[in-house]
Each structure stands twice: as C-alpha cells, then as structure tokens.
Amino acid sequence: MAQELRRILIVDDDNGVRDSMQKWLEMDGYEVVGAQDAATALGLLEREAFDLALVDIRMPGMDGVELQRRIRQVDHDLPVVIVTAYASIETAVEVLKRGAMDYLTKPVDPDDLSRLVRRALQRDAGAESAASGRPGEVARAAGELLAGQTREIARARDLIAEAARTDQPVLITGERGTGRHLAAAAIHGASRRRFFDLVPFDCRGLDEASFERLLLAPACSGPGKSRFQLADGGTLLLEAVDALPPGLQGTLLQLLESKTAHPPGARQPLVSDFRAIAISEIPLRALVETGGLSEALYYRLAVLVIELPPLRAIASDVPLIAQALLERIRAEDTTLPALEGFAAGALERLASHDWPGNVAELANVVRRAAAAAAPPLITDVAIEVRPGGE
Amino acid sequence: MASDLLGIYLVPLGGAFGARRAELLEPLGRRLAQTLGCAVEVTTCELDLALSHERGRDQHNALVLLEQLAALPLDPAARRLGLCEADLFIPMLTHVFGLAQLRGPAAIVSSHRLAPDPGSTLRTAGPAPKDLVLLRERLEKESLHELGHTFGLVHCTGPECVMHSATDVLEVDLRAAHFCRRCRAHLPSR
C-alpha cells in the first residue's frame, strides 16, 4: 500500500494551487502540510520535520528563492523544489545554483510531479541514479559555462536552451575542459526528461563483448538494470562517441533508431525510450570525411550541434567565468575567506594565460586562489597559472 | 437507492456520452456493482459545467466539479461519481484523468484522455466498436480507482492493482480492473 508515510511541505500563496497539490499528493500516500507564505513555512519548519518542501518562487513578502536560503539554515538537508510559472534555462540554473534540488514549471505533467517527488524522497542515495552522475549537482555547475557574454557563449547558451526544449538528439563538441558534460547535464536538467536518469556510456575502448556487457547487461550493483534500461524516460549520454570502433557503429545506430535491444540470452527484447546526447572532442563531420565514422550514425547524432569554444577563443569572458566560479566555490565551501572578486592585477594575470585546460583549468586555478587569498579581493599573488596548463 | 453504505450514484455531466450513454454507463454500473458489491444507480442530476470551465486553458477544474457533486441533494451515505467528456485539470497540473475526495463522497472521471481517439466527441462521431470496448474498460478502471480514494485508499505499489497510480493511458491499460488483496481489505465490507 502506497509509499511509507513521508511529510511534504507546500509553500504557495495561491490557495487553489496549494490545495490541489495537497489533495493530489495525499492520494500518493504522503502527509502534506500547506503554508500560504514564507513566514508560516519557517515557523512550521522550526517545530516539525519534513522530508521535502515544494516552494513557489513568487510570493508576496519573502520570495521562494530567499525562503530556500533560509530553509537551508534551518534544515540543511531538506530537499527543496522550486515551483515557477515560467522557467528559462537561466532560471533553472539559478535556482539549482542556490541549492534547490530541482524545479517545476506550472502547470506540471502529473507523471513528472510523481517522478520528482519519488526521486526527492529516495533515502537510499546509492539507489538514486547510481549511473546518473548526480545531474542536479552537475547542472548547478553549468552556471559558469553560461556566465560569458561573448557571441560564441551566447550562441552556445541559445543552443542549450533550444536543445532543452526539444527531444531531438544532440551532439556536443569541444576540447577537453570546455564543459561538454556540464552542457549535457544542463540540457537534461532543463528538459522534460529531467525527472528520469542521465546515464553516461563511455564509447572508448569497446569491443562487441564489452559494448553489450556495459550497455545492455544489468549492472552488478545498483537496481539490477542495464544502462540501456536505466536511460528509459531519460537521457543516454554517449561519451567520446568519436572513439567508437567502426564495427560497433552499426549496432549503436540500430539501438538509436529502434530504441530496442536484444541482449544475448534475453527472452524478450528490451525497449528504452531515451534521448541521446553525444559528446565528442573532435568535430564529427571531419571524422566522417576520413572514414572514421559512418555517415548514417553522424546524421542520427548531429541533429542539434553545439560547439563549445576553447577558453582562449573567448578571452574576454575569462573574468566573468572566473567570478562565477569563485561564487560557486565559496557557496560550496563556507570555510573559505569572504572574497568578493579579483583585483585588476589578478584579472590581468588570468587574461595573459592561454588556458589549454579550458574552464576546468580555470576552475582549478580559482579554487587554489580562493584558498590562498586574503579578503576582500584575490590579487595576482594568489593566481598560479602554469605554462602549458595543468 | 437503498440506504446501503456502498451505494454509488453515477452522474453523467454536461450531456456526457450522448447517444452512447446507455452503452457505456449501464455496463459500467453493472461492473462497479459487481466489484464493490453495492447498488449503483444512474441519476439525472445535472451540474453547470460552465462554473468549472477555465477559458485560458479550455479545461474544467476538477476540484470545482467535486464540490458541486458533493453538494447534490442525494443520499448522503452514497458515493457520487461524476462522468464527463470534458478535459479536466487541477490548478497545479496539466491534466487529470479523474479526481476524488479522499474519504469524501465525490469522485469524477473524464473520458477525454481515455478515449482511443483522444478528444473525439462521443456524441457526434461514435467510436468504432472495439474502441468503445477499450474506452469502457478504461472508464471502469478509472472509476474503481477514484471510488477507491473516496473509501480512503491511497496509491498502491502493486503494478496490477487498480489503485496503482496511472498518469498515462498505457499505465491504465496495464492495471487490472480489481483491487489487490491489501487494498480490498481496506474497502468497507459488503
């Protein structure tokens, strides 16, 4: 009978929304308490324990984002889901950066709501998307990727938003460290598939046996499903697709087209409704021309193509991205000094480097500087860049 | 209706099902009576659907309809199950197949998203016989599900139990038209 009794707090000034959510979730077997404003919610949280809070972003007085911040002070581990009337990818990234577990856009599909609530209440962290690479956490970090103002980053940002709105396959290309995984997680995290898993599958070093074992066979640990099955409803992230051996490209193409697999020994075919996002270090079109990738697979993957620029090509964005990184690093580690930003000399130092390791290298440099610098600003003394990168 | 605790009124709303009404509701009533072991009666009470209509969404608010159903001057001991063709919603959700008052007297089910040809009007263009059979099965499962809520049942984890949550018609089809043993044990005795 139903799930074990869990308590959900709904904070919304709209009686209709609050009451309808309460009635709906009670039928799922949850105990639901409503609060019409942030002050009432905080009062309840001081006296009672909850397993999940659903918080409307727009309320008179204290809004949902501020309430979420206060909730983290009262009960740091309480999952908070922000409810918005309209969510852009920027809104999504913003609320995730501030610590929300996820967000919902009103009106929400009932299936998505049930999925999200179940996921939020899963106590077994191991069971929660063992293969998913913590999509919420990763999507949070995508904020830095989107912080730039250059035409290249604006273009990437638009394409990520477009990809999140559609259900088409996506190909993301870029050098190592440019944030390809973050872009994939941002797309998944803002798409309607976000309540299901983002399942990575590394295409490097595979032969026929390992391809079947790693993609189609149930995992030894976890819920006993294969990656192919875990991706059902969600996103299959094909990492390093440029490294997939030619002999397996036809097999992958068939899986992408039919969404059906016939694992050896299985009595019935497996069906999985997933969206494919592929990641490549090199432009796949060039690989097709040299015969390293079948044209059919290329056209199947490259429906929406996002090219992430190397950091050296968007040098004017380095200060903005560095500032965004600093803010996230400080938010994650409250023991760090209260640094506000970078002094002019530090920014000059950052601008003079060519960043072969891209955003990943910049993040490393900012993290070390944040630990070493004295408030209020990071000076050039704390910036340690190494010729040739990390 | 006799003062039977498990009495159920079927209340077609807004001229639901037109000429197909008898074909759908009579067998539905028989099946509900059989499964729940109670008297089932179709009433002629009508509700004003305009009160629940929200123009911006072109849908009907199921909460408003439940209040109207609960206020009908019928045997207070009986459940009242509204049946309609209108597309239903509640303020937070895009749509619902049906809704009920948990441990309350009223429930409602819509055929709008259950019909094999969603959104088609059953009154002017009758569905093919096989579609009608499928729709009848889905209406029966959704009716049992919502009535189960009025008896205090919440969603069941058993995938075949009629109280299993279904937000997709395929999930409705996967459920059986009966309660699992655990849920049945919580229904009022016949």
Q: What is the pLDDT of residues B15-40, one digit of tens each?
A: 888 888 888 899 999 999 999 999 99
According to the model, what pLDDT value does residue B90 have?
94
Q: How confident is the model at residue A390 (pLDDT cuts 50, 70, 90)?
A: very low
Smallest CA–CA separation between A376 and chain B, in Å?
45
How many C-beta neighbours within 10 Å does residue A141 have?
A: 22
Structure confidence at residue A297 (pLDDT): 95
Res. B178: pLDDT tops 80: yes
Answer for the pair A293, A186: CB distance below 8 angstroms, yes or no: no
- What's the predicted TM-score (pTM) here? 0.61
The first and second tokens of residue A275, run together, are: 């969206």
DSSP string, A1-26: --S---EEEEE-S-HHHHHHHHHHHH
Examine the pLDDT at A223 and tell me if it is beyond 70.
no
- Give chain B's contact residues with A (Cβ, < 8 Å): 57, 63, 89-96, 99-102, 149, 153-157, 165, 167-168, 182-183, 186
Helix or strand run (H / E) with residue B8? strand B8-12
Quick one: pLDDT band at residue A184, thresholds 50, 70, 90? very high
Q: Which tens digit of pLDDT belongs to each residue from B40-62?
A: 999 988 888 899 999 999 999 99
Q: What is the DSSP letter of B151?
A: T
The string of pLDDT tens digits covering residues B80-122 is 999 999 999 999 899 999 999 999 999 999 999 998 766 555 5
pLDDT 10s digits, A40-60: 999 898 888 899 999 998 888
Lowest mean pLDDT of A187-196, B11-20, B84-93, B140-149, name the range: A187-196
Of the pLDDT bands very low, low, confident and very high (cuts 50, 70, 90), residue A134 is very low
What average pLDDT does this structure show over A355-359?
92
Higher pLDDT pick, B131 / A227: A227
Q: Which residues pair with B53 in a beta bridge?
A: B60
- For the stretch A252-311, pLDDT in tens is 999 999 999 988 777 788 889 999 999 999 999 999 999 999 999 999 999 999 999 999
Residues above pLDDT 90, as percent of chain A:
43
Place of tokens 């009106």: A107
Contact between A109 and B93 using a beta-carbon 8 Å cutoff: yes
What's the DSSP call for residue B96?
A: B
**Looking at residues A350-361, what average pLDDT do you find?**
91
Sheet of B59-61: strand order equals B53-54, B59-61, B88-89
Amino acid at A162: E
CA-nearest of A234, A238, A229, A300 to A271 is A229
Distance between B183 CA and the closest CA of chain A, angstroms: 7
Q: Do A110 and B95 touch (CB under 8 A)?
A: yes
Count the neighbouring beta carbons within 10 Å of the beta carbon of residue B115.
21
Spatial separation of the C-alpha atoms in residues B17 and A335, rounded to whole Å = 66
Reply yes or no on whether the pLDDT at B180 is more than 50.
yes
Inter-chain residue contact B94 with A19, CB threshold 8 Å: no
Q: How confident is the model at residue B154 (pLDDT cuts 50, 70, 90)?
A: very high
Confidence of residue A388 (pLDDT cuts 50, 70, 90): low
**Which has the minimum average pLDDT: A109-113, A285-289, A316-320?**
A109-113
pLDDT in tens, A62-81: 888 888 888 877 777 889 99
pLDDT tens-place string over residues A237-249: 999 999 999 999 9
Task: Dump the DSSP string for B154-189.
Answer: ---S-TTSTTS--SSHHHHHHS-SS--HHHHHTSPP
Question: Taking the CB of residue B156, how many other CB atoms lie within 10 A of it?
Answer: 23
**Which residues partner with A102 through β-bridges?**
A81
Quick one: closest CA in B to A106, which residue?
A: B92
Number of A/B CB contacts below 8 angstroms equals: 72
Range with lowest mean pLDDT among A88-97, A139-148, A221-230, A274-283: A139-148
CB contact under 8 A, A28 and B155: yes
Q: What are A's interface residues with B at a Cβ cutoff of 8 A? A: 1-3, 14, 16-17, 19-21, 23-24, 26-29, 83, 106-111, 113-114
In whole angstroms, give the CA distance from residue A45 to residue A155. Answer: 43
Does A29 sit within 8 Å of B155, measured CB to CB? Answer: yes
Instruction: State the DSSP code for B58.
Output: T
Q: Is the pLDDT of residue A133 over 50?
A: no
Q: What is the pLDDT of residue A129?
A: 38
Calculate how close chain A gets to B90, using CA atoms only, in Å: 6
Mean pLDDT of A98-122: 82
What is the least distance, in Å, from the CA of A50 to any CA of chain B? 20
Instruction: List CB contacts (< 8 A) between A10 and chain B.
Output: none
- Contact check, Cβ <8 Å, B102/A109: no
| Residue A198: φ, ψ to 5° | -100, 110
A335 C-beta neighbours (distance < 10 Å), count: 6
Q: Does position A236 have pLDDT exceeding 70, yes or no?
A: yes
| Residue A170: pLDDT over 90 | yes
Q: Where does the pLDDT of residue A101 fall: very low under 50, low under 70, confident under 90, or very high at 90 and above?
A: confident
In terms of DSSP bridges, do strands A170-173 and A198-202 run parallel, antiparallel, or are they unpaired? unpaired
**Does position A10 have pLDDT exceeding 80, yes or no?**
yes
More confident residue, B53 or A123: B53
Average pLDDT over residues A213-231: 79
Distance CA A30, CA A2 (A): 9
